[in-house]
Amino acid sequence: MAVLALAVGCAGMNQTPPRALAPGDYLAPPDPRPLSQEELTRRLTQARVVLVGERHDHPGHHAVQLRVLKLMAAQGPLVVGVEWLQQDAQTACDALSAGKITLEEFHAQVKWDQSWGFPWKMVAPIFAEVRAKGLILVALNAPQGVVRQVAAGGLKSLTPEQRASIAPSLNLDDPAYREKVARQFAFHGVKDPQAQENFFAAQVVRDETMAHNLSLRLDPWPDGGKRGLVLAGAGHLAGDMGLPPRIARRLPGAAPLIILPVSAQGAQAMVMAAKNAPANLLAVSTPAPPPPPRLGLLLGVENGGLVVKRIIPGSPAQKAGVLPGDLLLAVDEKPLTSPKGIHDAIKAAPFAPHTYLLERDGRRLNLTIALPKPGTAQPAKPVN
* Beta carbons of 39 and 281 less than 8 angstroms apart: no
* Over residues 313-337, mean pLDDT: 92
Distance CA 225, CA 94 (A): 19
Of residues 8 and 198, the one with the higher pLDDT is 198
CA distances from 110 to 79, 88, 91, 143, 202 (A): 19, 8, 9, 13, 23
User: 27-65: per-residue pLDDT in tens?
Assistant: 999 999 999 999 999 999 999 999 999 999 999 999 999
CA distances from 358 to 87, 189, 326 (A): 36, 21, 6
The pTM of the full predicted model, rounded to 2 decimals, is 0.79
Strand (E) positions, the chain? 26-27, 49-52, 78-86, 136-141, 227-231, 257-262, 281-284, 297-302, 305-311, 327-331, 334-335, 353-360, 363-370, 380-383
Average of per-residue pLDDT across 125-142: 98
Per-residue pLDDT tens over the stretch 308-318: 988 988 899 99
CA 236 → CA 27, 53, 176, 233, 358, distances in Å? Answer: 21, 8, 13, 6, 35
CB-based contacts of 302: which residues, under 8 Å, 6+ apart? 327
Q: How far apart are CA 73 and CA 54, in angstroms?
A: 20
User: In which band, very low, low, confident or very high, does the pLDDT at 15 lie, cut at 50, 70 and 90?
Assistant: low
Considering the chain, what percentage of its residues have pLDDT values greater than 90?
64
∠ CA(194), CA(196), CA(202), 5° rounding? 105
Closest CA to 281 of 62, 12, 25, 86: 25
Q: What is the pLDDT of residues 190-215, one digit of tens each?
A: 677 888 899 899 999 999 999 999 99
Looking at residue 294, its pLDDT comes to 83
Long-range contacts made by residues 248-254, C-beta under 8 angstroms, separation at least 24? 249/169, 249/171, 249/211, 250/211, 250/212, 250/214, 250/215, 250/221, 251/48, 251/49, 251/215, 251/218, 251/221, 251/222, 252/221, 252/222, 253/48, 253/222, 254/48, 254/49, 254/221, 254/222, 254/228
Angle at 86 between CA 148 and CA 74, to 5 degrees: 145
β-pairing, 353-360 vs 334-335, is unpaired
Amino acid 337: pLDDT: 84
Worst-scoring range by mean pLDDT, 112-126, 182-196, 229-243? 182-196
What is the CATH topology of the domain spanning 297-383?
Pdz3 Domain (2.30.42)
Q: Is the pLDDT of residue 6 over 80?
A: no
Look at 20-24, 125-129, 154-158, 334-338 and tell me which has the smallest mean pLDDT: 334-338
150-165 mean pLDDT: 95
The pLDDT of 215-231, averaged and rounded, is: 95
pLDDT winner (highest mean) among 71-75, 291-295, 369-373? 71-75
pLDDT at residue 348 greater than cutoff 50 = yes
| Residue range 243-285, pLDDT digits in tens | 999 999 999 999 999 999 999 988 888 887 766 778 999 999 9
Q: What is the mean pLDDT of residues 354-364?
A: 94
Domain assignments of the chain as residue spans, ordered by start: 26-284, 297-383
Strand order in the sheet with 136-141: 26-27, 281-284, 257-262, 49-52, 227-231, 78-86, 136-141
At CB < 8 A and 24+ separation, what contacts does 103-106 make?
103/127, 103/128, 103/131, 106/131
List, for residues 173-182, the tens digit of each pLDDT value: 888 888 887 7
The most confident of the ranges 111-120, 246-255, 336-345, 375-384 is 246-255
Q: How confident is the model at residue 189 (pLDDT cuts 50, 70, 90)?
A: low
Fold of domain 26-284 = Rossmann fold (3.40.50)
Are 72 and 279 within 8 A, CB to CB?
Answer: no
**What distance lies between CA 199 and its chain's CA centroid?**
16
One-letter amino acid for residue 165 of the chain: S
